[in-house]
Amino acid sequence: MENPIRNIAYDALVIGAGIAGGETALNLANTGYKVLLVDRELSVGGKMIMLSKVFPTLDCAACITTPKVSEISRHPNITIFTGSEVSKIRKVSDNEFVALVTKQPRYVHIEDCTACQLCEKACPVNVRDQYQFGLIGRKAAFIPFSICSPKAAAIDIDNCTLCGACEKVCPTNCIDFTMEVETMELHVKTIVVATGFNLFNAEKMPRYGFGKYKNVITAQQMERELAPTRPFNTILRPGDGKVPDKIAYVLCVGSRDASIGNPVCSQICCMYSIKQAQLLMGSLPMADVTIYYINIRSFGKGFEEFYQQAKGMGVNFVKGKIGRISEKENGNLILRYEDINEGKLQEAEHDMVILSTGVLPNTGIDKLFENQKLQLDQFSFIGQSDMLASPAKTSIEGVFVAGTATGPMDIPDSILSAGSASSEAISYLIQHP
């Protein structure tokens, strides 16, 4: 890294541009503060923008996220750095933090790109599309996804062959392979951490066969299959492209499981699985959908009714954690479980299995702070110094936390938490001008 660009000043730095970070940035910006919003992905919107619908209202997730995202993008008080990461934070005084931000080159000048997709067509490289969670492929010159923001192409330099085909077809000459890593030194008065969560990697439970059996997918992948901007235009199982008609959900994959190191409940899996089951019954009216659960935790407003609605629609609920999954020759899967209500071991055949993977902390944020200690809780989520009275406060004065960075929660709770973090940050800015 060369000499950083210095003397950039903002009132607030928001790390993470998901729904919580975005909401926080908007609240701060609407109050008149200058905000820098940083996200390591190529688009703002976080995990929510990739979802199909939200529970328990079945509202379209993109229809809630995209207006918000465009508001963030167009707001005069918000500057967005995508493909960027904060690498160091030092607290100088009560109203000054110095943060080092590294911006990875996109190799495309965003302001000139018209998202015409000609570069995509020209690019000869095919790789798995991480924004569709590996369900389909994409090019090395690509638009991340259809509703991304900023809507501009990017070059995946790790897979690029540097053939120059994209450069030749680009009508606005916005592709620029001379771009380099930029490092910036920022001076901000307050920081909001909204770094979200990671989903459990289902490959860590080999007995469920994810990664080995093609028709075992994660709920995140099913979320893409159900979304309005979905890749296949219908529900297909990846093994052979068959439309499934006996679908199983396996709950608590990577949550409430001390044997894989995460003993806590992820709070969202029951509900998103019930939501997906309802959507599947809409997409595939003849399909059987079974949810294998330990306990259904429908604790929020309207959640129990939503659960009962799924039961009424004919979703099967079976109490019993899946022990093992094995694959038949035709790609169907045998699920072994104990039916707790009967007390008997059972085996069931399904043609597609969806693993409802749990919420894990997005680790490493505490390492950014150089001269202060950002306390974590016992599960490595960011610790709330006063959880009951001021849930957005952290162990560092002037650093606040929003959304799932503090622990598993659903979208309404994340937005509430963002509201709390932004008002705490505003109050801090007023007290430390």
Contact positions toward another protein, by CB under 8 A?
207, 252, 256-259, 263, 294-295, 320-324, 336-340, 343-346
Nearer to another protein (CB atom), residue 171 or residue 323: 323
Residue whose CB is less far from another protein, 269 or 374: 269
Nearer to another protein, 100 or 360 (CB): 360
Q: Taking the complex as a whole, how short is the minimal distance between the CB of residue 260 and another protein, in angstroms?
A: 8
Report the nearest approach of another protein to the CB of residue 348 (Å): 11
Cis peptide before 144 (omega within 30 of 0): no
Select 229 or 346, whichever has its Cβ closest to another protein: 346
Do the beta carbons of residue 267 and residue 409 sit within 8 Å? yes
User: How many Å apart are CA 26 and CA 426, to the nearest integer?
Assistant: 12
In whole angstroms, the minimum distance from the beta carbon of 253 to another protein comes to 11
Give DSSP secondary structure letters for 172-221.
T--B-TT---EEEEEEEEEEEE---EEE--GGG-GGG-BTTBTTEEEHHH
Distances, alpha carbon 390 to alpha carbons 281, 382, 386, in Å: 42, 14, 5
E strand or H helix at 168: helix 165-169
Q: How far is the CB of 258 from another protein (least distance, A)?
A: 5
Find out whether 425 and 400 touch, Cβ atoms under 8 Å.
yes
Q: Which residues pair with 139 in a beta bridge?
A: 126
To another protein, the closest distance from the beta carbon of 208 in angstroms equals: 11
Indicate the residue among 207 and 212 with the shorter CB distance to another protein. 207
CB of 182 to another protein, least distance (A): 46
Q: Tell me which residue has tokens 């939501």.
A: 275
Nearer to another protein, 6 or 207 (CB): 207
**Nearest-angstrom CA–CA distance, 226 and 415:** 23
Least spacing, CB of residue 297 vs another protein, in Å: 12
CB-CB neighbours of 248 under 10 Å: 26
Smaller CB separation from another protein, 209 or 320: 320
